[in-house]
Amino acid sequence: MADNESLGNIGGRTLSKPPTPGDIFFDKSFRFLTRAFTWATIFLLAFIVYKIGGEALPAFSDLGINFLFTSAWDSSEDLYGLLPQIWGTLYSSFLALILGGFFGITIAIFITQDFLPYQIEITLKNIIELLAAIPSVVYGLWGIYVLVPLIRPFANFLHEYLGWIPFFSTRLSGLGLLPAALVLSIMILPTVAAISQDAFKAIPQKTKEAAFGMGTTRWEAILLVLLPTASGGIFGALVLGFGRALGETMALAMLIGSMSTVTLSVLSPADTIAALLANTFPEADRGLETGALMYAACVLLLITLLVNIAGAVIVAKTTQGGDKR
């Protein structure tokens, strides 16, 4: 009797039984459902590209490829050109990448290379991750009322004494590329730092020990051995950070000053595709202007998809290599 109970046999009935037809039906439909949603993920991304492409098509046939190389945005004349916005998007992201990339990689080194006691290391890591949690519209507000007044004297000093350099050829009248790129670099720093940390952690401990065994100082080991070994992952981190900067909208819409000019000066106002969409779309006429904006959205979508896919492939390739070693 005791034996039977331990086998789940209670009063002649067993607890285990074959699945009923109901169970089998439920199982089949549940599995079908999960499969359907997996397909839906693929379908969703394809549909986004298809739908935005479709909305852009009328404008594409009206404005043609010239849209990408002219620089007017005038809804009363129905003249549209995206060159300044494309330039602004790439330029501001590039500036942000230089700054955010440098800080991000430095912090990744600082966190992973045993500079700090464990407790402080974790605290610093959390602070950097919280930077990414602050909504971009809050950075925009902070940029307008804190950052711009703070950097304006410094920016005008640069213009006065170094105005002959094209980068400082205009005055900072308030909003402009410099505050926008600064905020953008703060926003991509956590992305770059996090992925670079993974790249450093993927290096086998022995590589570092071998370097130290050869008698290197800490920084010789970092610069000559660890950084080259992690370079693939770090490059991927920079590409993904760049992708994030390209699509960032609100902070730029609030800080860049929205002016359709192609300029090298970091103190001048400019515009980006995302900022153009945010600022113009709600009030656009439902005719060619909306079409032109859809065309612009399509261009932005394609650029960011390409950059993000490239970044993901690089990161995947390099981490795979790390596992095999």
Partner 1 sequence: MSQTGLEHPKLERQPMEPRALKSIILSAITIVCAITACIPLFSVLIMLFYRGGKRLTFQLFYTLPPGAFDSAGVGGFGNAILGTAFMVGIAGLISVPFGILAAIYLAELDPYSKISEIARFCAKTMTGLPSIIAGVFAYAIVVLVMGHYSAWAGGIALSLLMIPTVMLTAEEAIKMVPNPMREAAYGMGCTPAQSLIKVILPVAMPGIITGVVLAVARAAGETAPLLFTALFSESWLSPNDPTASLAVLIYNWSSSPYENLIELAWAASLILVVLVFILNILSRTIGGKIKR
Q: Within 218-277, which residues bind partner 1 (CB under 8 A)? A: 218-220, 240, 243-244, 246-250, 253-254, 274, 277
CA distances from 271 to 24, 153, 161, 196, 252 (A): 58, 23, 26, 30, 8
Q: Which of 68, 141, 259, 262 touches partner 1 by CB under 8 A?
A: 141
Does position 44 bind partner 1 by CB under 8 A? yes
DSSP state of 225: I
Single out the segment in contact with partner 1 by CB under 8 A; choices: 70-78, 79-87, 157-165, 215-223: 215-223
Does position 59 bind partner 1 by CB under 8 A? no
Does position 35 bind partner 1 by CB under 8 A? yes
Single out the segment in contact with partner 1 by CB under 8 A; choices: 151-159, 199-207, 227-235, 298-306: 298-306
Amino acid identity, residue 292?
A
Q: Which of 42, 65, 323, 324 touches partner 1 by CB under 8 A?
A: 42
Residues 70, 86 contacting (CB under 8 angstroms): no
CA distances from 112 to 75, 102, 223, 240, 307 (A): 53, 16, 14, 20, 27
Single out the segment in contact with partner 1 by CB under 8 A; choices: 35-43, 57-65, 68-76, 77-85: 35-43
Does position 133 bind partner 1 by CB under 8 A? yes
Residues 104, 129 contacting (CB under 8 angstroms): no
Amino acid identity, residue 43?
F
Q: Which of 12, 21, 213, 282 touches partner 1 by CB under 8 A?
A: 282
Does position 138 bind partner 1 by CB under 8 A? yes
Element (H, E) at 204: none
